[in-house]
Structure 1
């Protein structure tokens, strides 16, 4: 018999005005063909990073995770000024602490790793704490003796436990050292527009404020173009509560992290060209379904693209309501709990209410999710 599982599926409809949230290598807003129509797309990596940054804003700086190639530099910063170590001794000890991990070094920077590592700042503090009271003694050892002493500290073990919530949510993969891998509790889909989208161009000019127009030409100091589009996006992410619990080893932390992820993912938005477009909006709809069978992405609601000259959001609501109802009836797998926050949606209000239930204020929705997760962890039931 398989272990109990609980998935929190996040379904969001959000309209974004002219913007370039996530561009390709030529500066064009990313796109995808779905259902035979070209859609606006924001990559999962872009929205995942935005959600991670939003999540971290509620965490004290010292307790946050970081993704970097500079683990040696961060360790050196923690060793600096301790027990009278010289700069050379600090660098030597920091390098010695990283060496047992077997992480490949960058070909360009010897003091950096070849790839980004994701870990918690408190984990580094605990590693440095292993040297407390004997830093000078270790720094005076020869290379081989120092290496043998550091081996006894089980550095990898300390990076494999006590994960911050960010690492527990988004996981970690280190090809060189599988023991450091952490299975992600969160999966994020590429956001797609519910309708066809065409890319447009903004031709802009910039004025040289110091140009003397009495003696110089009156032309612009700079001209250029930037590509943009506007779209109503369907966004989706799923959180495996059972995996999050395994990563965090605390029921209270799991329930709190699940609730905070919902808030962070909902409010987050990629920052591409944000100064030019001021594109930050809040969703029309936040739909949360808790499932004990498997996660279900409802993007198939938009396989046939929405086409309208009188607004996209209302029809997008209807499609999503129909898809949730159809999947539940066809497969016999209705969610264990459905919660939603949305604004009034005119003529389709009854259909939306039947599928999603009555709208509740978003702060209340977040607390309901927190309570449901805590209850499931305690009793195995979703209420």
Structure 2
């Protein structure tokens, strides 16, 4: 029997003014050729980072994840804390030594350039570090006093890998983790994010700017001269959340429901911050469309394979194109979403027919909350019935 699946797809149309939110190594706004036309592009990595930052605004710091090369330093800091504050009360030198020993089973080696950093980034929860300290069961000082060989032997008896393989924070459950040297630590991502593309062709422009030296009264020349590249665009953004995978990663239905809703909220409101102070480009979407499927995700970027020309406005035409594409996919493939929820400002009978009536964004999130909650309840009932049938 195939495992039940539920995909929540997020389709967003959002217009950015002159901006450079995600640049390449030469400072040029990232681009891609699609449908034979050059498009503005914002990488999936940039928008995932922005989404994580937005998500974190509503999560207690202790429940957050961090991606860092400084796991040994963070663990040593916890070991050096007083016992009353959840630490082990070790002197700094002993804390550093014990932290290194605890992390040795993970294959974490020091960076060749910086002794206080590991060779690669590791994505983990702050609570998982606290769990490592609890593994010691108050024996931290005793372990730290052992010779190297005995310390390694005793630490090898602890479930270090298991501790970092369970109790994942929501951010790790959403975006996953890959550790090539230790597959046991891998976490399959429940979210996939596409590179955002402009629905139309774009051209990079240059802002020539000068800065005045306020204390220079001798001449009228500029204190500094420079240029910055930019473009403006209406972007199609797409992400898909596998609720079933999120449930597996978190192991808790209630937390899965909350995390699914928070992710959609954070993804819709997020914005990469490249040159934010220069362009103040933060906007909100024209359209947030959720399509819920139980078979497979469908990215609708093909709606813009032929670039939008903007005869009646780029945003409006982009919304209409998306409605046409969603309808065409359903009619051609027989691939209709289980449910469609949308928040939009564009008017039109066709749009309402395909997307349904526009909901205020908080109401859209409430509807998603109820939908995911019901699916998880049904899943639990089905699992219970299957278990009972197998026991007969």
1:233 equivalenced with 2:238 (yes/no): no
Cα deviation digits, residues 139-169 of structure 1 (max 9, x gap): 1110011111111111010000000000000
Residue of structure 1 in register with 2:100 after alignment = 95
Q: CA, structure 1 residues 84+77, in 2 after alignment: closer, same or farther (shift >3 Å)?
A: closer
Residue of structure 2 in register with 1:165 after alignment = 170
CA distance in structure 1 between the aligned counterparts of 2:10 and 2:102, rounded to whole angstroms: 40
Once the two structures are TM-superposed, the CA of residue 63 in structure 1 deviates from its matched residue by 1.3
Cα deviation digits, residues 112-132 of structure 1 (max 9, x gap): 221110000000011012224
Do the aligned residues in 1 keep the contact of 2:12 with 2:238 (CA within 8 Å)? yes
Cα deviation digits, residues 201-258 of structure 1 (max 9, x gap): 00001111122x1xx2221110100000000000000000110000000111111100
Once the two structures are TM-superposed, the CA of residue 310 in structure 1 deviates from its matched residue by 4.4
TM-score (normalizing by structure 1): 0.96
Residue of structure 1 in register with 2:7 after alignment = 7
* Partner SS for 2:22: coil
Residue of structure 1 in register with 2:41 after alignment = 41
- Which consecutive unaligned segments of at least 5 residues does structure 2 have? 83-87, 381-392
* Partner SS for 1:28: coil
CA distance in structure 2 between the aligned counterparts of 1:356 and 1:131, rounded to whole angstroms: 55
CA distance in structure 2 between the aligned counterparts of 1:256 and 1:87, rounded to whole angstroms: 39
Once the two structures are TM-superposed, the CA of residue 110 in structure 1 deviates from its matched residue by 3.1
Counterpart mapping for 1:185-196 below 5 A:
185-196=190-201
TM-score (normalizing by structure 2): 0.94
Counterpart mapping for 1:250-329 below 5 A:
250-329=252-331
1:208 equivalenced with 2:208 (yes/no): no
CA distance in structure 1 between the aligned counterparts of 2:221 and 2:137, rounded to whole angstroms: 65
* Partner SS for 1:174: coil
Residue of structure 2 in register with 1:371 after alignment = 370
Do the aligned residues in 1 keep the contact of 2:319 with 2:346 (CA within 8 Å)? no
* Partner SS for 1:269: coil
Residue of structure 1 in register with 2:189 after alignment = 184
* Partner SS for 1:167: helix
Cα deviation digits, residues 31-53 of structure 1 (max 9, x gap): 00000000000000000110011
Query: Greater CA deviation, 237-246 or 91-100?
Result: 91-100
Do the aligned residues in 2 keep the contact of 1:168 with 1:182 (CA within 8 Å)? yes
- Which consecutive unaligned segments of at least 5 residues does structure 1 have? none
Do the aligned residues in 2 keep the contact of 1:103 with 1:177 (CA within 8 Å)? no
Q: CA, structure 1 residues 71+311, in 2 after alignment: closer, same or farther (shift >3 Å)?
A: same
Once the two structures are TM-superposed, the CA of residue 81 in structure 1 deviates from its matched residue by 3.6
CA distance in structure 2 between the aligned counterparts of 1:91 and 1:271, rounded to whole angstroms: 35
List structure 1 runs of 4+ shifted beyond 6 angstroms: none
**What root-mean-square deviation, in Å, do the aligned CA atoms of Structure 1 and Structure 2 show?**
1.2
Residue of structure 2 in register with 1:115 after alignment = 120
CA distance in structure 2 between the aligned counterparts of 1:84 and 1:288, rounded to whole angstroms: 50
CA distance in structure 1 between the aligned counterparts of 2:118 and 2:180, rounded to whole angstroms: 12
Counterpart mapping for 1:76-155 below 5 A:
76-82=76-82, 84-155=89-160
Q: CA, structure 1 residues 81+292, in 2 after alignment: closer, same or farther (shift >3 Å)?
A: closer
* Partner SS for 2:365: helix
Do the aligned residues in 2 keep the contact of 1:103 with 1:176 (CA within 8 Å)? no
* Partner SS for 2:244: helix
Do the aligned residues in 1 keep the contact of 2:63 with 2:127 (CA within 8 Å)? yes
Once the two structures are TM-superposed, the CA of residue 332 in structure 1 deviates from its matched residue by 0.5
Residue of structure 1 in register with 2:73 after alignment = 73
CA distance in structure 2 between the aligned counterparts of 1:147 and 1:128, rounded to whole angstroms: 16
Cα deviation digits, residues 264-302 of structure 1 (max 9, x gap): 000001000000000000000000000001000000000
Q: CA, structure 1 residues 153+380, in 2 after alignment: closer, same or farther (shift >3 Å)?
A: closer
Do the aligned residues in 2 keep the contact of 1:27 with 1:227 (CA within 8 Å)? yes
Do the aligned residues in 2 keep the contact of 1:97 with 1:150 (CA within 8 Å)? yes
Count of aligned positions: 375
Residue of structure 1 in register with 2:352 after alignment = 353
